[in-house]
Chain A
Amino acid sequence: MKKDSMLYVVIFTFAVCAAFVVVLAVANEVTKPMVEANKLFATRSAVLGALGIPYANAADASARYDAQVKELAGAVGKAWTSSIDGVEYIAVEAAGPGLWGTIRVILAASPDGERVRGIRVVAQNETPGLGGRIEEPWFLGQFEGERAPGGRVAVKAGAEASGKADADKENGRVDGISGATRTSQSFEAIVNAGLAALKAGGVR
């Protein structure tokens, strides 16, 4: 069979593609349970993190999640609740468009939506080192215990963003990421939409 004949070309291309695809399929199947476990841990640790429940490792996280968190059927997406220090905090999923792709967070707040308990980012595709910094502790830490007057938190963006955490928990404002104005603005929109959904009840 000549190397340049049509038949050889087609068979060869097919065979090569098939061989590589098979290897990938195997690799995918073999790692599927691990990837699923990673995803489950990611969601659970985000819920625990948003609610402010500390955990030592993956096993501990699972244990605490089972013990302290109750899943609810929310009207829009998933919701969780946990009773901490006598307050029934509620955590909801919130998502919205960022600069590159969808940003997904888990937001926990007091049932009246007037005080944020915490936020954790579950998925984001923002610019690494810029918008991607929304995952960093200094940024998210600003939201913990922040008052949300009228159910809204303002994220200072653009020229106002100093890039350093706003320590005042009562002013309802947090600092955005300098150099990542659009991501900061998107984040603000998502957090406030989440607070609104949380407040609107929608949890049974």
Chain B
Amino acid sequence: MMKSKAYAVLKDNLWTNNPIFIQILGICSTLAVTNNLSNTMIMTLGVTFATALSSLTLSAMKGLIPRKVRMIIQVVVMSFYVILLDILLRAYLPDVSRQLGPYVGLIITNCILMGRAEAFAQANKPLLSFWDGLTSGLGYMSVLMAIAVVRELLGFGTLFGIRVMPEAFVTWTIMIMAPSAFFLVAMVMWWAKTLQARRVAAAATTVASKEAKK
């Protein structure tokens, strides 16, 4: 029973209710860091780490939190994990810490953390909430990495800093600047929604034809 619930959560967060293209959460950081694959990976790992652990903690505490201060407690827990992440980065990976700069702090306001805390952790068991946070982070990561591949490849001609495009390739500067992320996210949304609609239509036709056969 637990296994199928876990799978349902995984599928939901990676596809049916993906944070970026279905729920429209966590957009701010999407635009700013996706012009570079290494930064994107670190950012998304940070968000996954923070979301999973905050959901776990909040779910474990849910019986004790008074209604009035629910939001304040949520943000305190979320900021705790983000600050912890910041402290760890500064001590063990100082170069990465410098690269990400103000964006690490902004993970606190990444709507995915609050979104999962409100929508899931409040009403579910700790381990499942941890899994939900983890998979939401993965759903977020997959979309952002895909966008970053396009942006870094076309904008810099590199992937993870390694030169891929030939020297003669004229880079698309627009890909380095933020507006391109908007257009790419729109493309992802278009693709995902069309695919999902087709699957729903196909399922409906199968049901209808089964009915007709009866």
Residues of A within 8 A of B (CB): 3-4, 8-9, 12-13, 16-17, 20, 23-24, 27-28, 31, 34-35, 38, 42, 100-101, 123-125, 127-130, 132, 163, 178-179
Identify which of A23, A24, A100, A129 gathers the most chain B CB atoms within 10 Å of its CB: A129
Identify which of B33, B66, B77, B103 gathers the most chain A CB atoms within 10 Å of its CB: B66
Chain A residues, CB < 8 A from B84 = 23-24, 27
- B173 pairs with A178, CB closer than 8 A: yes
A-B complex: 5 closest residue pairs judged by Cβ atoms: A31-B91, A129-B35, A129-B36, A34-B91, A38-B94
B22 within 8 A of A: no
Q: Chain A nearest CB: distance from B63 CB in Å?
A: 9
- B100 pairs with A3, CB closer than 8 A: no
Chain B residues, CB < 8 A from A28 = 87
CA separation between A28 and B94, bound complex, in Å? Answer: 15
Chain B interface size, as a band, is 35 or more
- B66 pairs with A4, CB closer than 8 A: yes
- B98 pairs with A130, CB closer than 8 A: no
Residues of B within 8 A of A (CB): 32-33, 35-36, 39, 61, 64-69, 72-73, 76-77, 80, 83-84, 87-88, 90-92, 94, 98-103, 152, 155-156, 171, 173, 176-177
Q: Would A179 and B173 be within 8 Å (CB), given that A35-B91, A38-B90 are in contact?
A: yes
Q: Would A163 and B66 be within 8 Å (CB), given that A35-B90, A127-B32, A129-B36 are in contact?
A: no
CA separation between A16 and B177, bound complex, in Å? Answer: 41
Chain A residues, CB < 8 A from B32 = 127-128
Chain B residues, CB < 8 A from A16 = 61, 73, 76-77
- B176 pairs with A130, CB closer than 8 A: yes
Chain A residues, CB < 8 A from B36 = 128-129
Q: Would A130 and B35 be within 8 Å (CB), given that A8-B66, A9-B69 are in contact?
A: yes
CA separation between A129 and B92, bound complex, in Å? Answer: 22
Q: Would A179 and B77 be within 8 Å (CB), given that A31-B87, A125-B101, A129-B36 are in contact?
A: no
CA separation between A178 and B174, bound complex, in Å? Answer: 10
Chain A residues, CB < 8 A from B101 = 100, 124-125, 128
Q: In this complex, what residue of B is CB-closest to A15?
A: B64
Q: Chain B nearest CB: distance from A132 CB in Å?
A: 7
Chain A residues, CB < 8 A from B77 = 16, 20
